[in-house]
Structure 1
Amino acid sequence: YTPYGEHFLFSCGMEVVLADGQVLRTGMGAMPNSNTWQVFKWGYGPTLDGIFTQSSFGIVTKLGLWLMPAPPAYKPFVVRYPEHADIAKAIDTIRPLRIAQIIPNAGTVSNALWELAVINRRADLYPQAEPIPDTTVLDLAKKHGVGAWNVYTALYGTEETIAAHWKIVTAAFKASGGTVLTQEDVGPDDPLFNYRRDVMRGDLTMREFGLYNWRGGGGSMWFSPVSQARGSETLKQMGLARRVLDKFGIDYVGLFVIGWRDMHHIIDILYDRGQPEAMAKARRCYDELLDDFAREGYGVYRTNIDFMAKVAKLYGPVKAKVNRRIKRALDPNGILAPGKSGIHG
């Protein structure tokens, strides 16, 4: 969630143990005695790092990571929007600020139920079994001081650059109907603001694990489709998601992670692992979400082990064939994590 939030972009150089025991060092690391392995990604010839991500072509034993120096100044803030449909205005406001790097980090836009689920149990807010109605969600949001949608992001740099960018950012968000709040506005003890403040400066926090107490039992599956960073796309994906979630009686607990031009839509399917019927329902829900989103051209960028083969199939036969050929070339006996990411030899 920092300006270095696109993790693969800020990696540089891998050491990989291949199935036959050879050790491959990618990029500049392939050259003996290289002193530029972790500063220049590409080296000479084809760049191989990508084939060792989300695959089983080798065992990555080293990975170079670029670290972000602490900036002279840091200003986290939240922008709250009052209505469900305001997500479109929020995204269309953020996108040009992200592309221009005025907002440099991978901020998040979380809905009211995500905010409430982090610090509350569902039974204490809405004991009925059916999905919480939209009007009730808005009532709960107002009662607990959160927005229907909540944009968490930050400015980084010198005091002077932050002051200049702050004028641009506040003008843009206010023009879109958002309420801009800083630490001074929410106070020092706001748990929702504080955990976002911490993660956006690279600190570790377990606060978000409160989500898994929402229904009790700790069950969770993240359904994570990617889309363009456009307001119209958020509304379309929300509609797709809600139709399936409502069918299975599951609350829409979601947020968007905003890249430069893309969004990761994180839908947390929360259930009680102690109830077999709840687990089965969550699995069917996830399966149907995959199908419905794929029909509209949306793919997920991550999944759990039960759905690796299905997700790989959704990405088409040519990609699957190429992956299989690489697997057979590098691991002909299939000894490294067979089936990982739906890839078999």
Structure 2
Amino acid sequence: MPVLSIRLADGVLAFDGRLTIARVSETERQLEDMLARSPGPLLIDLSGLTRIDTVGAWIVHRLLRDRPGSGITGASADAERLLAEVSAADRPCEVRPVTEPFILRELRRLGEYVYAFRDSAVSALDFIGLTIISAWRAIAAGRGVRWNAVWVQMEQVGVNALGIIGLMSFLIGIVLAQQGAVQLRQFGAEVFVINLVGRATFRELGILLTAIMVAGRSASAFAAQIGSMKLAEEVDAMRTIGLDPIEVLVLPRTIALILMMPLLAFYASVLGVVGGGLFSWAELGIPPATFAQRLREVVPMSDFWIGLSKAPVFGAIIAIIGCHQGFQVTGNAESVGQRTTQAVVEAIFIVIVLDAFFAVFYTALGLS
């Protein structure tokens, strides 16, 4: 007896044997020859089948699909189940996605960004509240702050950053003095380079550039450290043994940045002024003593205190954003990279927005 026998008589197509992938080529040829002589609907008799696989079910389904009005008879329960699954899987597939009009696509993306920003802002506010509550609980319970962890974080975010922040501020001071001299030389007012370097550095650039550098350095480190701990389930282990991850991981980092940011800002401002002073001495012939005396005359103490007043706020924001993004890590190492990048971007963005807010606020108070 052959493996598969196909008969066509009076509109009835009967299969006997095994309708499987093993003889699909020969089966296709036989069906093509038979069906050319019978173009109408068919009654497909599957009562003689001993076995049918997915390929066989696809052949039967295609006959039913391409010949409207056709039907089947004699199918076993397994055959009916397989035919139903093949039929459900027979859906049109788009090789290329449907192109959306440019305006609609950009509007949709803008809406997605707005929703993502809203969710991120709400989540960040929740995290700030959770951090404040955890700090209050630690103080109320008598545990206090883990100062050993704070000292370690102060060394990492502050002392270890002195080199890069000092070099950056020194070079920015030189650039600021050079560009100011180029413009002021047209009016014979090179001496006012001291005003430009002094006031801009102590009031704005010192703290702003320091905050941006710390955001890129420390916010990314916090997000990566906490994110890696979360992937390794160390955060869950802390909760299991009764430790609050916010109290252990977030509070020391936040306190360390709040304490170190004013010192780093002052350090950066001084080196920025030193850079501007050295350039003025070398290129404009202004002696250091004259530069320092003029600096004392034109830079009011209000500029110094305004610059330092922003530092603790920037430090707290940078630390909280970095830690918050670290706790958002899920899944795999790719999430660590995404959250680290997002922590840096968000921290720098918020720092610049807050700096603009402080500028408007202090100007409204008459401290311009």
Q: TM-score, normalised by structure 1?
A: 0.24
Structure with greater Cα Rg: 2
Q: Which has the higher helix share?
A: 2
Q: Which has the higher strand share?
A: 1
Structure with bigger RCO (C-alpha 8 Å, 6+ apart): 1
